[in-house]
Structure 1
Amino acid sequence: MRIGIITDSACDLPNDFIDREQIVILPVTIQIGQAILADTRNEEATMSFLTGETAERAFEAETTPYTVQQVHDLFLGKLVHDYDYVFCITTTRTRSGIHDNAVQASYTILNDYKPVRAASGNTTPFALRVIDSQNVFAAVGVLVVEAARMRAAGETPPKIRAHLESLASNIQGYMVPPDLHYLRNRIKKRGDKSVSFFSAALGTALDIKPILHCNKGDTGPVAKVKGFNAATEKMFDFACKQVRAGLLTPTMSLSYGGDLNDMRKLPGYDRLRATCTEHNVEVFESFMGLSGLVNVGKGAIVLAFAAEPRKFD
């Protein structure tokens, strides 16, 4: 059986992995003022877009996921020909409309695919499953990597589906944002009041950086540390503890809103890589996509893995 994997462009994974595993990307369109760009995970295009006035006004960005009709057309135009079963893994529905759009589209796709496949001489059934990752950015990538790993191992769609749906609730995503003012302005734009002006101003004045945690679609701070480097190191060291305690999949996913060489110079990074190597955990590093950058700001770092919930310390 031919199994396809599709995800939205807010999922952070290395481009070589996406190309090798033939992961299909659902673009998210970003508009800042009059400037518009479809996020297709092109690093050069992303950084060119976030310059000058668009960079200064990035927190005002309007993001538009693929519509129900666009998802429908993509499946009928290509995917129902290329695959027999497709897993569509999305950013958490609490932060993006792509999940609900994909679910709505799935109903019409399953009604319309038969004559499309029949026209190409294929009369076998087609099926798809939309899976809410319940997470964001690099954390979505953990689920996509696992789907690709199980596909390569020859697992059946029902087994893959059950495993991914169970695993999603145990995906742990952590982030250190460099600029609280930017983050506060962005979430205010989105109608989220979780970071007050006072907290942002105080945090900026004292150089206090929060470590944010996302799981099951909910995001909140788990620690506050003085200095971006110190906060990142604490996050890396916590991840090392989780690797030693045992992960649910052999995957560590990192994304960074800038040059990856700068991320690799951060304190604690080398320890994390060494710990992952020691425990046979594969590390996936990627440039943060445009959707992530406009939501959390340049220079943000995200780390994710699959593990049972454990207290951050």
Structure 2
Amino acid sequence: MRIGLVVDSACDLPPSFIEANNIVILPITLHLGSRDQIDERDVEQTRRFYAENWDGHGDAGTSAFSTDQIKSLFLSKLVIDFDFVFCLTIASSRSPMFDNAVKASFAILNDYKPHRAEAGIAGPFALRVIDCQNLFAAQGVLAAEAVRMIKSGENPVKIRERIEYLVQNLHGYMLPQDLFYLRARAQKKGDRSLGWVGAMLGTALDIKPLIKGHRNTTGPVAKLRHFDDGARRVFEYAASRVRRGLLAPTLVVSFGGDLERLHALPGFEELQRVCGDCGVELIESMLSMTGGINVGPGALTLAFADEPHDLPF
């Protein structure tokens, strides 16, 4: 059986990983002032995006692919290239992508037969849309596990059960750089959790909120002083969880800008070493343009699958 994997462009994985594993990108449309741009996880496009330092204080935005656009992508390509497709989407609490994909799936399953017959392909087609209930690097953890299981020859039922189990045990963390930017984006979406006073004081004192995503809920779980020191503490914490043993052998880190800046952050080299020693694949990626618009340039995200646990700070 030919099993395919689709992720939306908010999923943080490097283009080399996406290409090597034949992952299909479900694009997200970016609204940058007077122009629109499609986020397809192109590395050079993403580099230029961060280098331009767009005026992001509330002006930029994103739009999920519509039901009709998703249906068109599947019927024109995916129902021919694959027999079963897993579609992993960004958290349904943060985007309509999951709902759009579910609606599209009904039409796809009703209409796929003539397309496969015309291409001379026998047999049925099936798909499963899964809400990752998380963001950015956390989506990458699920995609990497799906790839691992597809390569090992597992059947769709076991893959689905495994991914749905990991969804409930997925821990994503994000450390922003610019609190005023984060506040402007949150307010545009109706989220008042980071007020003007909090943003002003946090910036003046160089205090960054550590934000956690888990089971379709996102919110601050700690306050860390100075971005670089905060990153070090997050990396040290992640390394301690790796040593204890994760539920999936992958940890994903993404950064809103050039990865040389990520490599220079204190604690990252030690996290790499610990992952290597423990047989955990550390995947690093630029934060998607979609992610950059929503949380600001220079943001750090990190994710892994693990049992419930408390932060040490």
**TM-score bin, normalised by smaller chain:** over 0.9
State the partner residue of 2:204. Answer: 205
Which string of whole-angstrom CA distances, capped at 9 and with x for unpartnered residues, describes residues 147-198 of structure 1? 0000000000011011111111111101110111110011111111111111
| CA–CA separation in structure 2 for the residues paired with 1:49 and 1:310 | 36
State the partner residue of 1:18. Answer: 18
State the partner residue of 1:264. Answer: 263
| CA–CA separation in structure 2 for the residues paired with 1:298 and 1:120 | 44
Q: Does the Cα contact within 8 Å between 2:61 and 2:293 map onto a contact in 1?
A: no
State the partner residue of 2:254. Answer: 255
Pairing 1:1-313 to 2, within 5 Å after superposition: 1-49=1-49, 55-57=54-56, 59-313=58-312
The amino acid across from 1:106 in the alignment is S
Q: Does the Cα contact within 8 Å between 1:43 and 1:289 map onto a contact in 2?
A: no
The amino acid across from 1:12 in the alignment is D
Cα pair distance change 1:38/1:110, threshold 3 Å: same
Q: CA deviation at 1:49?
A: 4.1
| CA–CA separation in structure 1 for the residues paired with 2:211 and 2:308 | 14
Which deviates more, 283-292 or 36-45?
36-45
| CA–CA separation in structure 2 for the residues paired with 1:12 and 1:59 | 23
Q: CA deviation at 1:62?
A: 2.2
The amino acid across from 1:82 in the alignment is D
Q: CA deviation at 1:117?
A: 0.9
The amino acid across from 1:78 in the alignment is K
SS at match of 1:264: helix
SS at match of 1:214: strand
| CA–CA separation in structure 1 for the residues paired with 2:179 and 2:54 | 16
Q: CA deviation at 1:42?
A: 1.8
Q: CA deviation at 1:221?
A: 1.5
Cα pair distance change 1:47/1:16, threshold 3 Å: closer
Q: Does the Cα contact within 8 Å between 2:175 and 2:299 map onto a contact in 1?
A: yes
Q: Does the Cα contact within 8 Å between 2:242 and 2:275 map onto a contact in 1?
A: yes
Q: Does the Cα contact within 8 Å between 1:173 and 1:304 map onto a contact in 2?
A: yes
Q: Does the Cα contact within 8 Å between 1:50 and 1:58 map onto a contact in 2?
A: no
User: What is the aligned-residue RMSD (CA, Å)?
Assistant: 1.2
Unaligned runs of at least 5 residues, structure 1 = none
The amino acid across from 2:252 in the alignment is S
Q: Does the Cα contact within 8 Å between 2:47 and 2:258 map onto a contact in 1?
A: no
TM-score (norm. length: structure 1): 0.97
| Displacement over 2 Å in runs of 4+ | 46-52
Cα pair distance change 1:226/1:146, threshold 3 Å: same
Q: Does the Cα contact within 8 Å between 2:56 and 2:296 map onto a contact in 1?
A: no
| CA–CA separation in structure 2 for the residues paired with 1:125 and 1:43 | 35
Q: Does the Cα contact within 8 Å between 1:37 and 1:49 map onto a contact in 2?
A: no
The amino acid across from 1:57 in the alignment is G
SS at match of 2:58: helix
Identity of aligned residues (%): 49
Q: CA deviation at 1:29?
A: 0.6
Cα pair distance change 1:251/1:51, threshold 3 Å: closer
Unaligned runs of at least 5 residues, structure 2 = none
| CA–CA separation in structure 2 for the residues paired with 1:96 and 1:77 | 24
| CA–CA separation in structure 2 for the residues paired with 1:251 and 1:7 | 17
